[in-house]
Amino acid sequence: MKILVCISHVPDTTSKINFTNNNTEFDSNGITFVINPYDEFGLTRAMQIKEATGATVTVINVGSASTEPTLRKALAIGADDAVRINAEPTDAAFVARLLADYAEEQNFDLIITGRESIDYNGGAVPGMLATYLDIPFVNACIGLELKGTKSTVIREIDGGKETLEGNLPMLLAGQKGLVEEKDLRIPAMRGIMMARKKPLTVIEAGEAVKQTSVLGFELPEAKAACTMIDADNVEQLVELLHSEAKVI
Amino acid sequence: MATDLFKAPDYYNLDDLLSEEHIMVRDATRDWVKRSISPIIEEACQKAEFPKQIVSGLGEIGAFGPYIPEEYGGAGLDQISYGLIMQELERGDSGVRSTASVQSSLVMYPIYKYGNEEQRKKYLPKLASGEHLGCFGLTEPNHGSNPSGMETNFKDLGDHYLLNGAKMWISNAPFADIAIVWAKSEENRIHGLIVERGMEGFSTPETHNKWSLRASATGELVFDNVKVPKENLLANKSGLGAPLGCLDSARFGIAWGAIGAAMDCYDTALRYSKERIQFDKPIGAFQLQQKKLAEMITEITKAQLLTFRLGQLRNEGRATSAQISMAKRNNVDMAMTIARDARQMLGGMGITGEYPIMRHMMNLESVVTYEGTHDIHLLITGMDVTGFNAFK
């Protein structure tokens, strides 16, 4: 079985976010990048399947050379090989098209992505990729079991869970639940050394058209300072709600 | 235990000097410490219990003998990687770093460097995986800074050696499966022997009531007519230079480790200084607190540069023992000063187990003494620059 795990290279969740170039680009200065957490759940599930069935796991990213440490980490965790499509991933349809071009040639049985990436939170690539490949797609997966070419998938729905059955090949967009946080893998030193010898292939981007462009980003307004009022001082509370908050 | 919010300082963008692999090694160890050490270390120290489960965890991530070649179970990493692993482990706790240092530099290193192929194959893979734990016996009750005066000795009785003597202040001793023991032959020459748990006459009483390294097991090694098979001799090197070679490797790791402890104290104090309000503003806004923080980050940065360069020299096989002494002495002293200043910044909270500072401070009292005391390292530097021996 061949599994493809799509990996986004995203800022660490504790990063301080700033923009440059007239607020049209993310300022990556001093930012630590990590494997997109949603993708990491999928990568971990792929590693478990690899260990149980002997499947091969390929990881792929659309990005510049600066994303290679993230792919190397996936290799150190245990992926067999990595592919980087050399392009700036600024548009979902563009990224999905490039991924689809690669995946079509390789005949993967299972493609796992994250539900969304935690940087731009578009959540559009998985659905588009499945459409381009014309394979079944299940979003927001919290469970996956395989038996031969049959898959049982659990996904989160409003107020509950839905269990689905399907045939491979298929595409899953995963999240926490696919595995738990405690299952996430930390690369071991031997894995880091082995990653050095594993293939990381760079492919030049083929023809794909960007369908959107960014006009600008805005940061949310800074939180206003919190004024603490003594519980007995209702008069002051009323006064402030009237004069400052202007809600009464 | 509160959530581990540690964020490592990198004031001089030293990450730019590290390779992608170094950063992955460092971050993997940092993640492992956050996951496996931070949640349990406070309680282990309060109860003075060695958290045995970390031994297999340290083996799994590859913190035992990371520079030992892969064919013997190591990862074949370079010296800077080893240093970074020690830095991150000691950021968690000096006791955890001690366990890994001893296993790597004082047990696996001598077997790899001074042992034969059979010994390497027999012992190294199990030590690397954490299936076996080792310890190192050099210090004796009457010989600490003066190991050449050791009394532990062995006699050649034809088909085996007969070992007698005692070692003291031995990390990992109570749970160790094997001990690398330094003893004098009948010709008064120091040799290394691999002593295995279960050999008749070999016991490892635990040292109790420590106020330092409370999550690390310390004990004695007692040899009462222990019959050691001849194949357990480390034959490729003898003399005091053999154990001192191991200490070079361990001291190098300590020089990095101390930075980890200092970083944790600095990071804790920095965060606290922004949150703690006195006289209507964060204490970090007051000059005296800023002085402490500014001096801390300056000293950490200097120590980072020292160890990075030392790591390059070690990678090239050019680092001298005296250069390693300078880094060990400087960095541990730096960490002790930072721990004390950070403790003061946290006021009363600094003495509680809510924060890691007092634990680091107490641990560092051992670190400044073991593997060559603060004063002895000074005399090594003194002798190196003057040519005069002031030890005796």
- pLDDT given at position B1: 52
Helical residues (DSSP H) of chain B, grouped into ranges: 20-32, 38-46, 53-61, 79-92, 94-101, 109-114, 117-129, 241-275, 287-315, 321-345, 357-367, 374-386
> Which own/partner pairs from B203-206 qualify as long-range (CB within 8 Å, at least 24 positions apart)?
B204/B135, B204/B170, B204/B173, B204/B174, B204/B176, B204/B179, B205/B174, B206/B173, B206/B174
- pLDDT given at position A14: 84
CATH number at residue B22: 1.10.540.10
Encoded tokens for A31: 């930012």
User: Do B109 and B179 have their domain in common?
Assistant: no
* Residue, of B59 and A227, whose pLDDT is higher: B59
Q: Which residue in chain B is spatially nearest to A14 when comparing CA positions? A: B7
**Are the CB atoms for A47 and A78 separated by under 8 Å?**
yes
SS3 A224: coil
Q: Is A192 on the interface with B (CB under 8 A)?
A: yes
Domain that holds residue B167: 135-234
Confidence of residue A245 (pLDDT cuts 50, 70, 90): confident
Q: Which residue in chain A is spatially nearest to B58 when comparing CA positions? A: A188
Give the whole-angstrom CA distance, residue A56 versus residue B204: 48
Decide if B20 and A68 are in contact by the 8 Å CB cutoff.
yes
SS3 B143: strand
User: Do B124 and B187 have their domain in common?
Assistant: no
User: Do B127 and B165 have their domain in common?
Assistant: no
User: Do B179 and B53 have their domain in common?
Assistant: no
Q: Mean pLDDT throughout A144-153?
A: 95
Q: Which of B133, B156, B178 is the last residue of a domain?
A: B133
Q: Which of B208, B234, B260 is the last residue of a domain?
A: B234
- pLDDT given at position B144: 95
B354 is known as an active-site residue: no
Mean pLDDT by 10-residue block, N- to C-terminus, for chain B (392 residues)?
86 95 97 97 97 96 97 97 98 98 98 98 98 98 96 97 98 97 98 98 97 96 98 97 96 98 98 96 97 98 98 98 98 98 97 97 98 96 97 88
In degrees rounded to 5, what are phi and psi of residue B322? -65, -40
| Residue B104, domain member (yes or no) | yes
CATH number at residue B224: 2.40.110.10
Q: Which of B11, B121, B192, B106 is nearest to B370 (CA)?
A: B106
**Are the CB atoms for B42 and B208 separated by under 8 Å?**
no
| Residue B3, domain member (yes or no) | no
- The percent helix, strand, coil of chain A (3-state, each to 5) is 30, 30, 40
Q: Which residue in chain B is spatially nearest to A188 when comparing CA positions? A: B61
pLDDT over 90 at A214, yes or no: no
| Residue B7, domain member (yes or no) | no
Decide if B20 and A76 are in contact by the 8 Å CB cutoff.
no
Confidence of residue A175 (pLDDT cuts 50, 70, 90): very high
Task: Summarize pLDDT for A54-91 with one digit per residue, the tens.
Answer: 999 999 999 999 999 999 999 999 999 999 999 999 89
**Are the CB atoms for B271 and B222 separated by under 8 Å?**
no
Task: Summarize pLDDT for A26-65 with one digit per residue, the tens.
Answer: 898 888 999 999 999 999 999 999 999 999 999 999 999 9
| Residue B350, domain member (yes or no) | yes
User: Do B251 and B378 have their domain in common?
Assistant: yes
Q: Is A76 on the interface with B (CB under 8 A)?
A: yes
Encoded tokens for B178: 């094997």
Please, which residues have CB within 8 angstroms of residue B313's CB and are 6 or more apart in sequence? B319, B323
Q: Which of B234, B256, B273 is the last residue of a domain?
A: B234
- Give contacts of A14 with chain B, Cβ < 8 Å: 7
**Are the CB atoms for B270 and B122 separated by under 8 Å?**
no
Q: Which of B88, B94, B103 is nearest to B134 (CA)?
A: B103
| ipTM score assigned to the predicted complex | 0.91
Question: Would you state the torsion angle of the CA atoms of residues B122, B128, B129, B135, taken in this order, to the nearest 10 degrees?
Answer: 80
In degrees rounded to 5, what are phi and psi of residue A143? -165, 145
Confidence of residue A137 (pLDDT cuts 50, 70, 90): very high
| Residue B379, domain member (yes or no) | yes
Pairing type for strands B178-184 and B190-196 reads antiparallel
Q: Which of B354, B357, B377, B351 is nearest to B292 (CA)?
A: B357
User: Do B99 and B144 have their domain in common?
Assistant: no
**Are the CB atoms for B341 and B295 separated by under 8 Å?**
yes
User: Do B139 and B128 have their domain in common?
Assistant: no
SS3 A146: strand
Interface size, chain A vs chain B, as Cβ–Cβ contacts under 8 Å = 50
| Residue B306, domain member (yes or no) | yes
Decide if B75 and A196 are in contact by the 8 Å CB cutoff.
no
Question: At residue B103, what is the residue type?
Answer: Q
Tally the domains of chain B: 3
Please, which residues have CB within 8 angstroms of residue A247's CB and are 6 or more apart in sequence? A241
User: Do B251 and B375 have their domain in common?
Assistant: yes
User: Do B255 and B310 have their domain in common?
Assistant: yes
Question: At residue B92, what is the residue type?
Answer: G
| Residue B274, domain member (yes or no) | yes
- Give contacts of B28 with chain A, Cβ < 8 Å: 76, 186-189, 192
**Are the CB atoms for B98 and B90 separated by under 8 Å?**
no
- Give contacts of B88 with chain A, Cβ < 8 Å: none
User: Do B124 and B162 have their domain in common?
Assistant: no
User: Do B219 and B289 have their domain in common?
Assistant: no
Distances in Å between the Cα of B213 and the Cα atoms of B34, B44, B82, B260 are: 19, 10, 21, 15
CATH number at residue B365: 1.20.140.10
User: Do B382 and B245 have their domain in common?
Assistant: yes
- pLDDT given at position A225: 75
- The percent helix, strand, coil of chain B (3-state, each to 5) is 55, 15, 30
| Residue B391, domain member (yes or no) | no
Domains and CATH numbers, chain A: 2-218 (3.40.50.620)
